[in-house]
Chains A and B, each alone.
Chain A
Amino acid sequence: MATRTTQRIINWLTPIIFIALVLAIWEGLVFLFTIPQYLLPAPTVIAFDFIKNFDYLIFHAGITLWEAFLGFIVANFLGIVIAIAFAHSKIFEKGIYPFAIALKTTPIIALAPILVLWFGNGISSKVVAAAFVSFFPAVVNTTKGLRSVDPDALELFKSLSASPWQIFSLLRFPAALPYIFSALKISTSLAVIGAIVGEFVGSNKGIGFVILVSSYHLEIVKMFSGVIAAALIGILFFGMISWIEKWVIFWTNVED
C-alpha cells in the first residue's frame, strides 16, 4: 500500500513540478532579456492581474461557461436522439449522415457571423455556436456505442422474447453510456470554443469579449488573464463531466 500511495503522489507531483519549472523559465527569460510587457508579460505579473480582476473575470467567464453549457446540453440531447434513430434505421442514417458531415466540416468561425446575424448579439447566438460544434461527437459516438452491443447478449434478449424497448433500455443504452460519455467529454472543450468564437464575432459580455476588448486596447496582461480564465472554464467543465462519468459508469473502472 505504501508504494501505491507514493506512486500516486509522484503521479500528482510530476506535472506540477514541470509546470512550475516552465513558469520559472518563462519568468527568468522575461527578466533576463527584458522582454517588454506588451509582447510577453511575466507569469507573476499575469497572476497579480488575475487576482486583481478576479471578480470581473469570474463574471465574464461565468457567462461563457453558461453559454457553452447550454449549447452542450442542446447538442448532446439532439445528438443522442439522432444517434438512436440512426441505430434503428439504416435509411435514416444514410439520409442524414452527409448533413452531419457537412456540419462538421464547416468551420465555426466562418459560420459565426451568420449566427450572430440570425440570433443577435446576446447569449443565444453563442449557445447555437457552442451547440453547433459539439453536436458531431455525440452523434458519432452514440451511434457507435449503440452498435457495440455484444451479439451474445442480443441473442440472450431475443431468446427471452424481449421487446425492442427492453432491448434498448436494458441493453443497448447502458452499453452505449461509456461511448456517450467520451463524446460528452470531447464536447466540453468544443462547446467552450464555440461560445468564445461567437463572442468574438459580436457580444458585450463573456470571456471572448474580454480578450477581444483588451486586444483593442493593447492591454496584454489582461488578455493573458482572459486566456487563462478561458482555459480554466474548459478544465472546470471537463472536470465536472468526468466526475459525473465516474458516478454513472462505475462498471468500466473495474472491468477486466
Chain B
Amino acid sequence: MFKIEHINYSYGSLRVINDISLDIKEGEFVSIIGPSGSGKTTLLKMLGGLLSPSKGSIAIKGGSLDLAVKRRDFGFVFQNPVLLPWRTVLQNIQLPLEIIGKKAPVNKSKKFLEIFGLEGFGDYYPAALSGGMKQRVAIARALVFNPDILLMDEPFGALDELIRERLNLELLKIWEQTGKTIIFITHSISEAVFLSNRVVVLSERPASIVNVREIDLPYPRTTKIKQSSEYFKHITWLREQLKES
C-alpha cells in the first residue's frame, strides 16, 4: 500500500527525518514508537500528504500522495480530539461527509453512535463529554467516510489506563471487521505490541528506523495475551531497541 523510499524532512535547518524507507502492506496495523520529539508526528503527516518530504518519495497504491488526499484515502485521528465545539456529537461525526458532499443516511450515522458507545449522546455538544468519549467521536469521524487508511497520532495518549485499554480493544475490533490499513503512533511500547502486526522503532532526532519487529501474537487479541511470555518478550526486546536509539 505504502512505498516509502529514502525520505528526509527538515524544518529550516533542523533535520527531523533522516533517510526512512518502509513498505506497508494493505490491511496492516503498523505502530511507530520512538522518543518524544523524535519526529513521529512529522512522519505521520508526510504519510497523510499534509507535509511533503524534503527528499525521497512516498507512493501509495502506486500513485502520488496528492491523489490519495483527493481520493480521501486518509482518516486522521490526532492526540487531541479536535472536535468543533459549536457542532453536536452527530454533526462532528458527519463533518467529513459534509465536506465531501455525501449525505449519509441518518440510520447509518445512528449506527455509528452505537458502535462507539455514544448512543443517546448524538445531540450533546463536545464540552459535555469526557475525554474518552471525545476521542471516540474523533475516531468515529475518521471512519465515517470509509477511508482506506487510518492515521492515528497518539490518539489515546491523554487518556487514563482503563479507558485506553477499552479503546484499544474497540480499535482492534474495528480493524478486524473493516480490514483497514492503520498506522498508529504511540509512545507506549505495550500498546504498540498489543495492537500491531509490526512495530517500527525510531531513533532520536533526526529520526531514522532503528529496527522493525513483527508481532506474531494471534488475532483476535484479548487482554489475556498481556500475561503471556511472548508478549513480554516483544516488549523487552523493543525496550532494548528504544534504549539503544
Contact = CB atoms under 8 A, between A and B. Distances in A.
Interface string B4-47: 00000000000000000000000000000000000000000100
Contact of A251 (B69, B72, B80, B127): B127
Interface string B110-153: 00000000000000010110000000000000000100000000
Contacts of B80: 150, 152
A10 to B, nearest CB: 27
B138 to A, nearest CB: 9
A94 B183 CA distance: 42
A195 B99 CA distance: 44
Contacts of A153: 82, 84
B100 A255 contact: no
B99 A170 contact: yes
Contact of A254 (B72, B75, B128): B128
B170 to A, nearest CB: 21
Nearest to A157: B99
A155 B99 contact: no
B50 A158 contact: yes
A150 B138 CA distance: 15
Nearest to A256: B127
B127 A160 contact: no
B98 A251 contact: no
A161 B70 contact: yes
A156 B70 CA distance: 13
Interface in A225-256: 249-252, 254-256
A174 B166 CA distance: 34
Contacts of A159: 48-50, 69, 74-76
A247 to B, nearest CB: 12
Contact of B72 (A160, A171, A255): A160
A106 interface: no
B228 to A, nearest CB: 37
A152 B128 CA distance: 21
B78 interface: yes
Nearest to B126: A251
Contacts of A249: 86
Interface residues of B, number: 25
Contacts of B75: 159
B149 to A, nearest CB: 11
B99 A162 contact: yes
B95 interface: yes
Contacts, number: 57
Interface string A179-207: 00000000000000000000000000000
Contacts of B85: 251-252, 255
Contacts of B128: 254
A166 interface: yes
Contacts of A250: 86, 125
Given A156-B78, A161-B70, A171 B84 contact: yes
A251 B74 contact: no
Nearest to A251: B85
Interface in B84-114: 84-86, 95-96, 98-100
B14 to A, nearest CB: 18
Contacts of A254: 125, 127-128
B245 to A, nearest CB: 27
A255 B99 contact: no
A153 B95 CA distance: 12
Given A152-B80, A255-B127, A161 B95 contact: no
A40 B84 CA distance: 55
Contacts of A252: 85
A191 B145 CA distance: 48
User: Closest 8 interchain pairs by CB?
Assistant: A254-B127, A251-B85, A152-B82, A162-B99, A160-B99, A159-B76, A152-B78, A251-B86
26 contacts: A152-B78, A152-B80, A152-B82, A155-B50, A156-B76, A156-B78, A157-B99, A159-B48, A159-B50, A159-B75, A160-B99, A160-B100, A161-B69, A161-B72, A161-B99, A162-B99, A170-B99, A171-B84, A174-B84, A251-B85, A251-B86, A251-B127, A252-B85, A254-B125, A254-B127, A254-B128
Interface of A: 150, 152-153, 155-162, 166, 170-171, 174, 177, 249-252, 254-256
